[in-house]
Structure 1
């Protein structure tokens, strides 16, 4: 399947309901509106508006049972979160766009507007992408368009790990500071305030540790 051709399902409109209670391991997130202006106040065309994959948790389910353990949702209401690109079901509620998604679709907690502060959840890792090579092996200068985007970077932060069959967290085998190679088409891409590119992805999309 071609991953580029994802069509977002139409938004469900719920005008006459006053409350939404997510069930199980689901959460309700109020979607952050896209930046319509640049920092300098210039109005952005719709195409240049970066669609935020983030918002505020406004309601949470009761959690889920794994084995004999009851596992709570990993976020509280009021938390600012980032979620997977094509996750959940969008709905219009109280005049704002919301998303119902699974706890596992939450990439991490981000209380600031700088991705370097992202606290990954579950099996997610935050990676600072290595800068693209400026020259080819033969010494030719590469242009922006021909620079091969590296799938290599430094691990900045890691989540607490996925749940095992008994509901306990299995710590990730990768530590912050490691240089890793990851799968090219995975994860959420971010631009850091420092001008560097960052990516948050599942640990299963990390292919190798380089040293």
Structure 2
């Protein structure tokens, strides 16, 4: 499922879904050597860009989301639904799939 949209601002996650963008790994070493893209690994760290209102329990009450816009989180290496807007790539995860929130 790879969908393209014009602007990520037009995307509003539903229920317990979270829109994230992976943090890009440094392409330059501490000594200033630039690394090729093929040798740079994907990080499991991402920034939350949008969150849904939360899922519903059996009684129809909203379950609050565990993350908020602007949070830094750890996400699984694989999974999520990819979303592409222009040249940028984003992913949609369920709130329960987020591994951890990074407190600063």
Structure 2 equivalent of residue 151 of structure 1: 44
Structure 1 equivalent of residue 100 of structure 2: 208
Q: What is the CA RMSD across the aligned residues, in angstroms? A: 2.3
Matched-pair contact (CA < 8 Å) for 1:129–1:196: no
Q: Output the TM-score relative to the length of structure 1.
A: 0.43
Structure 1 equivalent of residue 76 of structure 2: 183
Cα distance in 1 between the residues matched to 2:98 and 2:91: 11
Q: Output the TM-score relative to the length of structure 2.
A: 0.81
Cα distance in 2 between the residues matched to 1:187 and 1:124: 10
Q: Residue deviations 1:91-115, cap 9 Å, x none?
A: xxxxxxxxxxxxxxxxxxxxx6323
Q: Residue deviations 1:143-199, cap 9 Å, x none?
A: 111111112121111011111121211120211011111011111122333x33211
Show structure 1 runs of 5+ residues with no match. Answer: 1-50, 55-111
- Whose RCO is larger (CA < 8 A, sep 6+)? 2
Runs of 4+ in structure 1 off by over 6 angstroms are none
SS at match of 1:191: strand
Show structure 2 runs of 5+ residues with no match. Answer: none
1:70-81, aligned counterparts within 5 Å?
none
Cα distance in 2 between the residues matched to 1:118 and 1:203: 17
Matched, 1:127 2:20: yes
Q: Residue deviations 1:42-101, cap 9 Å, x none?
A: xxxxxxxxx6558xxxxxxxxxxxxxxxxxxxxxxxxxxxxxxxxxxxxxxxxxxxxxxx
